[in-house]
Amino acid sequence: MLAFLFVAIKTILSICFVLVSIALVHELGHYITAKLCGIWVLEFAIGFGNRLFKKQWGETLYSFRPFPLGGFVRLAGMDNAEEDTPEGEKPEVDEDLPVVPPDHPRSYLTRPAWARIIVLSAGSIMNLLWAIFLFIAIYTISGGPLTNIQVIEAAQGKPAYEAGIKAGDIITAVDGVKINDWSDGVGLIGQAGGKEITLSVLRNHPIRKSAAGGGIMQDDVATTDLSYEIHDQETLAFKVVPEGPPGAARIGISLAPNNFDFQILPFSKAVSKGINDGLNVIAQTVGGLFKMFTRQTQADVAGPVKIMKMIKDQSSKGIFDLLYLTAILSVNIGLINLLPLPVLDGGRIVFVLLELIFWVINSLTGLKLAITSKVEETVHFAGMIALLSLLVFVTYKDIASFF
């Protein structure tokens, strides 16, 4: 019973940490840039629902709400403006916040378009920076893997193939310099354009043995019920002349990092590796979203239930696995928020850009094209309904997948 209670508390705290930290840095991006752009920030809130805790500090109300699945920054003139109400009825207002007209000097709506775009995009940018910071923290505190180069494929007619390098080989050194980071190995090869270099290569030779006379030894690979494989390794040396100019030379292989050890990294190395890995995750996520929307790959959307299960699984492995998952989710949430879809930050940026386009057309033609705030909010409301419907559908699929 105590063990179950401990796991439950640990899971709840982990979920709160992941979701609140991602929401907090996102809203901090909006908050900081709004302040810098002279916009009145009425409220900074973490979570949804009725306020559990509130504190007025200066001109901004800070609040915490019971459902930590996000947060928001309420800006003057953005969604707290006076609205038309039926005659005889009082407008619905928040007693804790002042009602600010849209034309207030510090209203969001009176800021130039460039300032509004910065404020809208700052939340996602902070999510990406948060991910990079987490990678740096992981490598600084816990260290990182030592990697060399695994050859996935050697292209025919290219230097590596002609030298005898094969798929599955591991490049461990270049001209006697041991590779502890696969990107360093790629750099050494790239700098040697037109110059002969010696690659130290580790090659495995699988040997199939009969399992009829006994059990399978540790680290051997089972192949069938009656046989298993052992791997005989040998170290080879291949002389290769990379093609291309120094700095961009290639030997004609597709590769992947091969983890062979783990060590604490110097701070400078942890920072550079954290930045590099963060940028790689961002690039891969952008590529994945592009392929998903162009139907090159099947959409794989995780709902709240699946995300919470992922958080539970990673928290059971350790704090650094949980931080790694937080970084991945922060990148995904940041980039998804920039998609040009209603109710998302990217959708609001589209309306700001449309406003600029209409301004140019009006200046050139004398027309008076405009999108009213009521039309924009109607579009965003429809987008919110669609998003909630998708959320319900994905949640149903997540739950159904467990049975």
Higher pLDDT, 255 or 1: 255
Tokens of 348: 């609001």
- Measured between alpha carbons, how far is 351 from 228 in angstroms, rounded to an integer? 63
Tokens of 307: 């995300």
Tokens of 184: 């360093």
Within a domain: 155: yes
Asked if 303 contacts 398 with a C-beta cutoff of 8 angstroms, the reply is: yes
Within a domain: 337: no
Taking only the tens place, the pLDDT of each residue in 173-209 is 999 999 988 888 999 999 999 999 999 999 987 666 6
pLDDT at 282 over 80: yes
- Measured between alpha carbons, how far is 19 from 25 in angstroms, rounded to an integer? 10
Q: In this structure, what DSSP letter does residue 109 have?
A: G
| Predicted local distance difference test score (pLDDT) of residue 80 | 46
Neighbouring CB atoms inside 10 A of 96's CB total 12
33 CB contacts (<8 Å, ≥6 apart)? 118, 119, 122
pLDDT at 149 over 70: yes
Confidence at 82, pLDDT banded by 50, 70, 90: very low
Tokens of 46: 């973490």
97 CB contacts (<8 Å, ≥6 apart)? 42, 43, 61, 74, 80
pLDDT averaged over the chain? Answer: 83
pLDDT at 70 over 50: yes
Domain of 181 in residue numbering reads as 144-263
| Predicted local distance difference test score (pLDDT) of residue 221 | 53
Q: What is the mean pLDDT of residues 298-324?
A: 73
pTM of the model: 0.70
Within a domain: 306: no
Within a domain: 88: no
pLDDT at 117 over 80: yes
Taking only the tens place, the pLDDT of each residue in 135-148 is 999 888 887 778 89
Q: In this structure, what DSSP letter does residue 137 have?
A: H
Between strands 221-224 and 177-178, the pairing is: unpaired
Confidence at 81, pLDDT banded by 50, 70, 90: very low
Least confident of 25-34, 54-63, 202-211: 202-211
Higher pLDDT, 300 or 109: 109
Asked if 65 contacts 49 with a C-beta cutoff of 8 angstroms, the reply is: yes
pLDDT at 216 over 60: no
- Measured between alpha carbons, how far is 38 from 33 in angstroms, rounded to an integer? 9
Chain-centroid distance of CA 316 in Å reads 21
Asked if 95 contacts 80 with a C-beta cutoff of 8 angstroms, the reply is: no
| Predicted local distance difference test score (pLDDT) of residue 92 | 60
Confidence at 83, pLDDT banded by 50, 70, 90: very low
Within a domain: 218: yes
Phi first, then psi: give them for residue 208, nearest 5 degrees. Answer: -85, 135
- Measured between alpha carbons, how far is 135 from 139 in angstroms, rounded to an integer? 6
Within a domain: 241: yes
pLDDT at 110 over 50: yes
Which H or E run includes 112?
Answer: none
Which H or E run includes 262?
Answer: strand 253-263
Within a domain: 299: no
Asked if 111 contacts 39 with a C-beta cutoff of 8 angstroms, the reply is: yes
Q: What is the mean pLDDT of residues 117-127?
A: 95
State the amino acid at position 308 in one-letter form: M
pLDDT at 128 over 70: yes
Most confident of 93-102, 194-203, 381-390: 194-203
Asked if 27 contacts 120 with a C-beta cutoff of 8 angstroms, the reply is: no
Instruction: Assign residue 203 the CATH number of its domain.
Output: 2.30.42.10
| Predicted local distance difference test score (pLDDT) of residue 84 | 46
Within a domain: 122: no
- Counting the structural domains of the chain, the total is 1
Most confident of 33-42, 295-304, 312-321, 371-380: 33-42
- Measured between alpha carbons, how far is 39 from 349 in angstroms, rounded to an integer? 17
| Predicted local distance difference test score (pLDDT) of residue 259 | 83
Q: What is the mean pLDDT of residues 132-137?
A: 92
